Amino acid sequence: MKTQVAIVGAGPAGLMLGHLLRAEGIACVVVERQDPDYVLSRIRAGVLEQVTVGIMARLGLDARLRREGLVEAGFNLADGERLIRIDVQDLTGQTVVVYGQTEIQRDLMDAAPERGLEVVWEAADVALHDIESEAPRLTYTKDGVAHEITARFIVGCDGYHGPSRQAIPASVGRSFERVYPFGWLGILADVPPCHDELIYANHERGFALASMRSHTRSRYYVDVPLTEKVEDWSDERIWDELAVRLGPEAAANMTRGPAIEKSIAPLRSFVFEPMRHGSLLLCGDAAHIVPPTGAKGLNLAASDVHYAAEALTAWFRRHDADAVAGYSEKALARVWKSERFSWSLTKLMHRFPEDGPFERRMQVAELDYIATSRAAQQGIAENYVGLPV
């Protein structure tokens, strides 16, 4: 098979990019190693910046998002005793939308056949070849049969563990990483949220987050040591811990219910440079990971896709090589700013094992400063709604 762009990975980043390229008349094929049900079953982010909402609107795939998404004008930081509200809309003139990544995935998948976006599911042994040439190749097997796709560009949207980043020579790439000494224990339950906005809590017992997916479905987290096991946390134990860490106001409005999903996710900050080598571009988790504090993962992937679609469209429409050449630098500038925000919010709201009384006093002072300073709140709000692309 020959095409103009071969995309590795059919998560939100890969499908968003595929839809944007097809809308410009650019031929592309998406190759995914998992089956559709597995991809849809992954529980991920739920807070969308305007860049992500804007891409879905541009594609004309935002009808359900507009109908079911919850528009959020602010969020809260809790310090154990009070809620510090960050009025995002007042401070920036913008809002965010709560709409689960699973729902974005479903919207993109459902539209693929009618939009002419070809997706190869359950492709095994995916490998990239000749990425430094002008005719890179993608090989895979499906149902025991070997296949090869020749393209002008390959875009890796295949996540942290995918083969795309591995195809860049070690002499070219450089990784930056911070692994955090805790994970997030998450519970998803069909209960109404305890608050109409997100709450990030810093309590002496640890971090907690109250989030939601809809008016009837809630997502909660507490941080736990990496040695903890999900099976040691009964539903009752999680709800009790959340009630303590989120504070009395949230606890009073919390509705308990059975978990429909429960898991522990490790946290890391990771950036790989460059995000382009030869005819290969990287988008999303293939190039960077952020801790979920601040809800930047999916949104950062969407901004990568925005830049990649711009660059590839310029190439195929106008033979503009500069846009592709500049993709990595442009994308990384936004990546590092988002990494900084996620790292700083993680540092502010979590207790690190190496921290002592001094570090705790710094957290208290920072939260108190945020509570009393519009300037501090504005900086947080600007990053939370998403920096310009």
**In tens digits, what is the pLDDT along the chain, a chain of 389 residues?**
999 999 999 999 999 999 999 999 999 999 999 999 999 987 677 899 999 999 999 999 999 999 999 999 999 999 877 899 999 999 999 999 999 899 999 999 999 999 999 999 999 999 999 999 999 999 999 999 999 999 999 999 999 999 999 999 999 999 999 999 999 999 999 999 999 999 999 998 999 999 998 899 999 999 999 999 999 999 999 999 999 999 998 999 999 999 999 999 999 999 999 999 999 999 999 999 999 998 899 999 999 999 999 999 999 999 999 999 999 999 999 999 999 999 999 999 999 999 999 999 999 999 999 999 999 999 999 999 999 99
Helix (H, G, I), strand (E, B) or coil at 87: coil
Q: What pLDDT does residue 207 have? A: 96
Of the CA atoms within 13 Å of residue 332, those in its CB half-sphere come to: 18
pTM of the model: 0.94
d(CA 265, CA 253): 26
Q: The dihedral of CA 384, 200, 83, 353: what is its sign?
A: negative
Query: With contact defined as beta carbons under 8 Å apart, do 248 and 241 qualify?
Result: no
C-alpha 122/C-alpha 113 separation (Å) is 17
Distances (CA, A) of 129 to 4, 119, 148: 15, 20, 10
pLDDT at 42: 79
Residue among 227, 183, 189 nearest 207 (CA): 183
Q: Are 305 and 17 in contact (CB under 8 A)?
A: yes
Q: What is the pLDDT of residue 294?
A: 86
